Amino acid sequence: MDTGTATMDKERSLAQAPRLGPCEICRKNDAKYKCPACDTKSCSLACVKEHKASQLCTGIRNRVKMIHKEDMDNLTLLSDYRFLEEIDHKLEDNLRNPVLRQANMDPTHKPKMPYFMHRLREEAWKRGTTLRFFPYQFSTRRKNATRFIISEGTIRWHVKLIFHQADLTLSEVGVDENTTINKLLARYLDPNSDLPTDVKEKLAYYQSASFGGISILVKTDMEGQGMVFQELFPNKSLRLNLANKTVIENPTLYVVLKHHTDSYLAYQGDQHDDLFPDSEDAKETQKSDGLSYFDAESDSSNSGSDSEEG
C-alpha cells in the first residue's frame, strides 16, 4: 500500500471516529452532547437527565467561568459581548423601575403625601390612631379606599375582614367610623343573609358560633413588642376600637373562633411577619424593605392637584 492510500485511510478512520468519545454516563454509546455547565459527555436525553440528577448539575453554563486565553475562540468572545449587553440592559431597566428607584433613594428623602392623604392622617391622629401609608407604587396603596369626608366630618374606612378559620378574606368599603363591630359583621354571621352561597358555606362555623363564639382582633405595632394582636370590643365603634393603635393603610380585622383567641394574643412578630405567609399583604409588606413610607410632612402645594373627598 502506498503512502497516499495509507494517509487517506487514516483520515477516513479519524472522520468516522466519535467526535466526543464514549458517553460518560452509560459508557455504551458514543457521546452526542456535552453539558454546558460541567462538560460531562452524554449520548441521550435519558443520560442527560441521569447526569443532572446524580451530579446535581443545572446544565446551565457558568458565564463568568475563567477561560484561558489560548482556549478562547470567536464564540467565547461573542458570548462575553452578549453577557455585557444583558448587564447594560438590566441596569437600564432598574433605572426605569419606580420601586427600585425608590429603594435606591437617599433614606433621608421621603416622598410628600398628596393633601387628601395628609388630611386623612391628621384626622386619624386626632382620634388617637396612627395611620401610615405604603409608597404609591404598591397595589395596597392604590386599592385603599379610606377617605375623610369633609361634609360629614367622619372617616369612612376601607376595612378588610379575615375569617381565619374559614380561609376567607373579604372587604367592606366606606364603613362609617361610628359603626360598631357587631353591626359591621352582622351580615356575615346571619345564615339568612344575601351573601353568595359559597361564602355562606365557608362561614358556616362562624354562623353557628354567632357573636358569643367569636373574637375580633386587630394586629398593631406596639412599641418595644413589635406586631401583636389586640382584642376589640364588638359593642363599640370602629373609631373607639382603633384609638391608640397603629394602622397601616387600612384596618384589617381578624375574626377568629373563641377557642383560638389565646394563640393569637400570644403571638409576637415584627412588621414583616404575618400569619398568612403567602398572602398578598405579606408579599407587599416584604417588598417594603428598603422603601420609605410617605413623609408625615405634607407639601401644601399638592392641595391644588389632589382635592379632598367631600
**Dihedral angle sign, alpha carbons of residues 67, 69, 70, 72:** positive
Of the chain, the percentage scoring pLDDT greater than 70 comes to 74
CA 217 to CA 256: how far, in whole Å? 8
Give the H/E segment covering residue 149.
strand 147-149
pLDDT the model gives residue 111: 59
Which three cell numbers, joined as nine digits, stand for 38?
Answer: 460541567
pLDDT the model gives residue 210: 86
| Residue 264 confidence class, pLDDT cut points 50, 70, 90 | confident
Query: pLDDT tens, 99-145?
Result: 666 555 555 555 567 888 889 999 999 999 998 888 777 788 888 89
Give the H/E segment covering residue 122.
helix 115-126
The ranges of the chain annotated as CATH 3.10.20.90 are 112-298
Residue 14's CB is within 10 A of a number of other CB atoms, namely: 8
pLDDT the model gives residue 183: 93
Residue pointed to by grid coordinates 472522520? 15
Give mean pLDDT, residues 5-20: 55
Query: pLDDT tens, 165-183?
Result: 888 899 999 999 999 999 9
CA 173 to CA 162: how far, in whole Å? 14
Residue 134's CB is within 10 A of a number of other CB atoms, namely: 20
- Determine the topology of domain 112-298 in CATH: Ubiquitin-like (UB roll) (3.10.20)
**Reported pTM:** 0.57
pLDDT the model gives residue 184: 92
Cβ–Cβ under 8 Å, residues 210 and 192: no
pLDDT the model gives residue 149: 92
Reduce the DSSP state of residue 258 to 3 states and report it. Answer: helix
pLDDT the model gives residue 3: 57
Query: pLDDT tens, 63-88?
Result: 777 888 888 888 888 888 888 898 88
pLDDT the model gives residue 272: 43
